[in-house]
Structure 1
């Protein structure tokens, strides 16, 4: 699967990007609300990239990390990634997550990449439902989900034991019919 926007090329991460991927995942402000820790290594990045499906969107129960790369210049610059997971139990249901290199945050790349992936899932892949969730303290990602016109479905108050503490998750979703009505 390959998507392109005005500023980004989007496709599964490659082995050549493993170092850059590992570098921004180790940043404390990046790892804070994510499932990994600041000790995310090059070997971890290489294993994740090697083990993910390489073609199309993921099948039920699979996850794929799609790299967000700047289109300008002759050298491809990885600015972040979008994780796309296909729900194992619910057909045509996908969960998205986004991570950006701190040097490229605040430039609209996350919204641009997510919009392209949402469009691809809905228009080309027949998705019925897309969900995202974020830690209630992560105001940047909550703002992003609202900017993408995802519907707030609710709060899971202190329902997630995460990195040694109870945290609250905010859940957002978009149905195909809602996307079509935009």
Structure 2
């Protein structure tokens, strides 16, 4: 496997965030197989090492994904370099300067503020460095932890699509969240300049 482009690297007090790499494959596969982690995600517990290898190999090069593409960012603990989870970053194809984000943590990484810290770093980068106009996120109505994370991070709920998503054998309700550049001031945990 060829080395991945790590041009996009973010750091916080506890975390290093950069494109998912070959060294992450085993840990990435392990937490994606966890039923609790996979419950609200697009994959199932049969996620394989080959699936993870394909995802890493197919990652786009460059600082950000190209229009319509996704980039998976590893969230690692600074110092130990342990993979704690990942951030998904999608550049929307039909809207300029608009991104979709997602967060997945290994079960052992939850409850420590990791998701909040990682998402804040990514949002700061998107708004401050890349001049994003809008960032969106979606979650299953039942995924209370992600809804709480998004709200705490300054997103506002924009939509609720009731029983609109056929997901893992059942109709589910999907909530949409958004954050505009002009709404960033005053967000808890944001390092955004006024």
CA distance in 2, matches of 1:147, 1:180: 13
Equivalent in 139, 148, 151 of residue 143 of structure 1: 148
Deviation, 1:111, is: 0.8
2:75 aligns with one of 68, 72, 82 = 68
Structure 2 spans left out of the alignment, 5+ residues: 1-7, 188-194
Matches of residues 10-25 of structure 1 in structure 2 within 5 Å?
A: 10-25=17-32
Q: Once superposed, what is the RMSD of the aligned Cα atoms?
A: 1.0
Match of 2:112 among 103, 107, 110: 107
Pair 1:98-2:110 in alignment = no
Deviation at 1:90, TM superposition (A): 0.7
Aligned to 2:183: 178
- SS state at 1:146 partner: helix
* Structure 2 counterpart of 1:86: 91
Question: SS where residue 83 of structure 2 aligns?
Answer: strand
Unaligned runs of 5+ in 1: none
Deviation at 1:181, TM superposition (A): 5.7
Q: Which of 41, 57, 70 does residue 64 from structure 2 map onto?
A: 57
CA positional deviation for 1:180: 4.0
Q: Distance in 2 between matches of 1:83 and 1:97?
A: 5
- 1:53 is displaced (CA, Å) by 1.2
* 2:157 maps to 1:155: no
- Name the TM-score, length of structure 2 as normaliser: 0.90
Q: Any idea what the Cα deviations from partners look like across 1:48-71, whole Å, max 9, x if unmatched? A: 011011321111111000000001
Note the C-alpha offset of 1:170. 1.0
Count of residue pairs brought into register by the alignment: 180
